[in-house]
Amino acid sequence: MSEVLDIEALTVTYGRGPVVRALWLRLARGDVLGLVGESGCGKTTLGWSILGLLPSGARMDGTIRFEGADLRSLDGRDRRRLLGDRLAMIPQGGSGALDPLYRIGDQIVETILAHRHVSRSEARAMALRQLRAVGIPDPEARLASYPHELSGGMRQRVSIATALVLNPSLLIADEPTSALDVTIQAQVLALFRDLIHEHAGAAIVISHDLGVVAQLCNRVAVMYAGQIVEEAPVDQLFAEPRHPYTRSLLAAHPALGRRGDRLATIPGTVPDPASPPAGCLFRPRCPVAMAACCREPPWVEQPGGGVRCVRHAAG
Amino acid sequence: MALDAAPISRPAPRPLARLTANLTPPLVVGLAIIGLVLLGAFLIPALSPFHADQINQENSLAGPSLLHPLGSDDLGRDVLVRVMVGYRISLAVAAGSVLLALMAGLPLGLASGYLPGLVDNLIMRPLDVLMAFPAILLAVVVMAVLGTGTVVVVIAIGIVYTPIIARVMRATTLTARGELYVEAARARGASALRIVTTHILPNSLGPVIVQASILLGFAVLLEAALSFIGLGVRPPTPSLGLMLSTERDFMTQAPWAVVSPGGALMLLVLGFNLVGDGLRDRLDPRGRARVR
């Protein structure tokens, strides 16, 4: 089955209101999907709900199928068997994802041993190979290092190595490079792109940085207030954004060498989940809103994706 | 890649240097006091020609001399030897009761910190009730149920201190469970038990160690207090509190028989408190900036 992930009508509700609203998403083998949007639009919640690790108090509806199996029907043990193995995540601010009390090598080796029946020395060899693959110099010595002895960029690479060491079918990377400074970010991104294709079946890259998405992904889904408002192949999205929100996002992205103009912003904030506006959720902030926007906007299929906007339904 | 490909400078492993860097003055003085007390408690009774229970009526209430450096008590027993043997009891009771409190308090605190809601309330509310009683009253109640004797003192003080340890452990667990490495461990498929034992517990031990070292000092005092009011260690076992209680009748004639156990008690508690202070400077995250 080439379908890796199939999310149908996923709704996640915290106490105050839905954070993810009736979301549909499909991922095939080889897909690297960028999930972009402002803070608070539900990107990270979507990531954790795929893993089934939402905080207690969250309610989840809809189905999530991973390689054909319904993830929500799995019990704790079966789910844990999957996590870190075929379904891996690099959590946000990944350089803090290493326990300060354990050596780098032990943290990777323990992950391998938890999922594979291999000897400790085999696991060590796998860890070593993976550290080398993410470009860590002198990996033999680094295996015995503690996290505080490594720089932020190195720790991030270790995080990436840990997530990819068992060749997951699906990798979820939450802001994989936002904790890094720009020079190192470029290195890690280049490396990461190759590694995803080499070691992971498919990937979801969560980011608010369109530049990161442009470099890593072949598809983009733009999220707003818990919905996907536009989905398109990456080139097309940048060349020809359809949804007004996507256009605003692109306009708000600073470009090098374009000086003089004040940086565009999107007025207002993401709506409160408890009291969303009627009709299109972006309407109160939309520069081209019109009367028809007060009704629920249709999902308009487009080649390679679609857009949730009434302006494109007319054609 | 050149930027961070440079070898990261790692301080050469010099364990001795790292150890002395951590030794702040209070920690050194405190450790020295406890070291001397331990040394005295084990050496002096062994080397002295007198036995702690050796009665010599002719020598009753004799002042300090070369033979009896701290004088003798109403029954002519050597006060120095009795104080040192009393130290053994104090140390044993303190260590035993704090160990007991740790064994009970750590799992309780971990469970209530990691499982908010029902489990947390089921564990913490009864412990809050225990905390509401004054320590000595609670200990007296426990001993009223279990009887007296050294072992019962250990159990009573252990019960008194269990909620204190559990509270500290719960608080640090609450902090640690929000750490990214805990979320990362969950995302790698680690079970709750594994997360708690391998990630949360070791990362939150610092404040617990500080609390335990301070409780050691209080346990010494509590044991002395219980023995003083006749509920703790039974005579003729020499306990510092018991000595204070019996010898205070002769305070005007033989002050050394009262001042010695009293001073000894103060010294040991001071030692534990200084160690607690010194450890807090090292281990408490709030105090770290001050030290570096």
pLDDT per residue over A236-246, tens digit each? 888 888 888 88
pLDDT above 80 (res A136): yes
Task: Give the tens place of pLDDT for each residue, B253-292.
Answer: 777 778 888 888 898 899 988 888 888 877 765 544 444 3
Chain B residue nearest residue A160, CA to CA: B184
- Say what the pLDDT of residue B291 is: 41
Contacts of B1 in chain A (CB under 8 A): 135, 187
User: Inter-axis angle of helices B240-247 and B205-228, to 10 degrees?
Assistant: 30
Rounded mean pLDDT of chain B?
A: 81
pLDDT mean over B39-67: 74
Whether the complex's predicted ipTM surpasses the cut of 0.95? no
Pull the structure tokens for residue B281.
């400077």
Q: Closest Cα of chain B to A102: distance in Å?
A: 9
- Say what the pLDDT of residue A94 is: 59
Q: Do A101 and B202 touch (CB under 8 A)?
A: yes
A25 has which bridge partners?
A: A7
Rounded-to-integer distance, Cα A209 and Cα A207, Å: 5
Residue A68 · residue A5 · CB < 8 Å: no
Rounded-to-integer distance, Cα A232 and Cα A308, Å: 12
Question: What is B86-291's CATH number, 1.10.287.610, 1.10.3720.10, 1.10.1660.10, 4.10.1240.10?
Answer: 1.10.3720.10
User: Which of A132-136, A266-270, B41-45 has the highest average model confidence (pLDDT)?
Assistant: A132-136
pLDDT mean over A303-311: 82
Residues 5-64 of B with CB under 8 A from A: 5, 7-8, 10
Rounded-to-integer distance, Cα B77 and Cα B52, Å: 7
Task: Give B20's pLDDT tier (boundaries 50, 70, 90).
Answer: low
- Say what the pLDDT of residue B286 is: 53
Most A CBs within 10 A among B18, B119, B174, B180, hence the mutation to make, goes to B180
- Say what the pLDDT of residue A225 is: 86
Chain B residue nearest residue A84, CA to CA: B188
Residue in B3, B117, B187 closest to A89 by CB: B187
Rounded-to-integer distance, Cα A1 and Cα A4, Å: 8
Residues 218-277 of A with CB under 8 A from B: none
Q: Closest Cα of chain A to B187: distance in Å?
A: 6
Give the three-class secondary structure for B65: coil
Chain B residue nearest residue A81, CA to CA: B189
Give the three-class secondary structure for A193: helix
Task: Give B3's pLDDT tier (boundaries 50, 70, 90).
Answer: very low
Most B CBs within 10 A among A77, A99, A170, hence the mutation to make, goes to A99
More confident: B4 or A52:
A52
pLDDT above 70 (res B9): no
Question: Phi and psi of A15, rounded to 5°?
Answer: -45, -40
Task: Give the tens place of pLDDT for each residue, B60-76.
Answer: 766 777 777 777 777 77
Contacts of A123 in chain B (CB under 8 A): none
- Say what the pLDDT of residue B289 is: 44
- Say what the pLDDT of residue B7 is: 47
Q: Closest Cα of chain B to A166: distance in Å?
A: 11
Rounded mean pLDDT of chain A?
A: 83
Instruction: Extract the runs of DSSP E, i.e. beta strands, from chain B.
Output: none
Q: Do A97 and B181 touch (CB under 8 A)?
A: yes
Rounded-to-integer distance, Cα A93 and Cα A117, Å: 30
Task: Give the tens place of pLDDT for each residue, A213-265.
Answer: 888 888 999 998 888 888 989 888 888 888 888 888 888 776 655 566 666 77
- Say what the pLDDT of residue B231 is: 80
pLDDT above 50 (res A89): yes
Rounded-to-integer distance, Cα A180 and Cα B222, Å: 54
Per DSSP, A91 falls in state -
Range of weakest confidence among A61-70, B17-26, B154-163, B200-209: B17-26
Task: Give B21's pLDDT tier (boundaries 50, 70, 90).
Answer: low
- Say what the pLDDT of residue B288 is: 47
Rg (C-alpha) for chain A, rounded Å, is 20
For chain A, say whether B203 makes contact (Cβ under 8 Å).
Answer: yes
Contacts of B196 in chain A (CB under 8 A): none
pLDDT above 90 (res B163): yes
For chain B, say whether A132 makes contact (Cβ under 8 Å).
Answer: no
pLDDT above 50 (res B6): no
Rg (C-alpha) for chain B, rounded Å, is 23
**Number of Cβ pairs closer than 8 Å across A and B?**
80
pLDDT mean over A88-110: 83
Chain B residue nearest residue A187, CA to CA: B1
- Rounding to the nearest 10 degrees, give the CA dihedral for residues B240, B242, B248, B250: -100
Q: Where is A20: in which H helix or E strand?
A: strand A17-28
Residues 42-101 of A with CB under 8 A from B: 51, 53, 56, 76, 79-85, 88-89, 91-94, 96-101
pLDDT above 60 (res A95): yes
- Say what the pLDDT of residue B113 is: 87
Model-wide pTM > 0.90: no
Provide the 10 A C-beta neighbour count for residue B98.
26
Contacts of B8 in chain A (CB under 8 A): 145, 149-151, 154
- Say what the pLDDT of residue B14 is: 58
- Say what the pLDDT of residue A259 is: 61
Pairing between β-strand A32-36 and β-strand A202-206 as defined by DSSP bridges: parallel
Residue B220 · residue B272 · CB < 8 Å: yes
The fourth-level CATH superfamily of domain A3-96+169-312 is P-loop containing nucleotide triphosphate hydrolases (3.40.50.300)
Task: Give the tens place of pLDDT for each residue, B76-88.
Answer: 777 788 888 888 8
Range of weakest confidence among A211-220, A262-271, B213-222: A262-271
Chain A residue nearest residue B190, CA to CA: A80
Q: Closest Cα of chain B to A99: distance in Å?
A: 5
